[in-house]
Structure 1
Amino acid sequence: MSILLENHIAELLKERNEKAISLLYEHYGDTLYGVAFKVVRNEDLAQDILQESFVKIWKKSDSYDPTKAKLFTWLFRITRNTAIDKLRSANTKSEKEIQMDISDVYSLGSEGIKPDLIDVQENLEKIDLKYQIVLDALFFQGMTQQEASEELNIPLGTIKSRLKIGLRELRKIYGASVALAFLVRLLTQ
């Protein structure tokens, strides 16, 4: 990643510009997911940690100081610390199932989509049916991941995977900024 792009993203973060999240996800999302996965060794939990890390990054964006660390180093530390905290929390719950935090990003409903950006629901037909069903349940019917899992009789891990892949497919069709509008909505609430 070029220094200019990194500086641009850092500036957008300081300005609380929503485009920063799209750029962060596009350029750092896979790497930060890898950081989380390396700590917890669980795909679903690593996805949750990545989302939680992006929320923390947004909320702490004014605390980033480029004189103290590169942007990636700062992002890495937030993600790694979030993963370690999740792991410690899971270890203190003896023989109990880890309860994932359900985020509002999965229960936005149709009011969470800005019609002037795009009519995603109308264009869902362009992606595979199994992803359409999950995206429709989560974003347009307002279900949580757990509710969608129960209603559709699909394992929770599969719901999460299909959500991630479905968003990736929408991103291919519309570009990163529109496909990530759901995540940005969460961060700006």
Structure 2
Amino acid sequence: MSQEELLVLIYQKDEKAFTHLYDMYSKSLFSVIHVLIKNREEAEDVLQDVFVKIWKNIDSYNESKGRFYTWILNIARNTSIDKLRSKDFNNSQKNLSSDNFVNLLDESNKLSHKLDAIGIQEFVKKLKPKCIEIINLLFFKGYTQQEASEELAMPLGTIKTQNRNCINDLRNYLKI
């Protein structure tokens, strides 16, 4: 089934299409979510929330504004960031046992290996140092543009412009 056929069925709220959608994208979306959330069970909950949002909000997808995968990836990223900022999540993180801290450290050390596994890191390394810093904050650490602006002591407009330019540079590397 092509993506176009799948989208038509999803617009019609076909449940089999939803299952197919989940089978097609759950692994890649989970990887993105897990990089941000770090806790497997919490990441699985967020993944479920993401698919519910995709299902409920499919009418807001506009093909002329971008690819479907980019749209669902943004839903996954934004839902993950919302979870990280939630009061319940922050409170649960305060109550972690020392074993969990060891696991968190191990997982953060594996981040570069995960990036290597999907081939992104080699392209990100080709970018200018400022781009690497901005992409790291915005996409891998889940900072908002405002937070990145404060962290890097740069005006918000500059962060937005640099981010757009860095993403374009990354796209050009990926086309090669």
TM-score, scaled relative to structure 1: 0.46
Structure 1 or 2, whichever has the larger Rg, is 2
Task: Return the structure number with greater relative CO, CA threshold 8 A, min gap 6.
Answer: 1
Q: Give the structure with the larger helix fraction.
A: 2
- Structure 2 length-normalised TM: 0.49
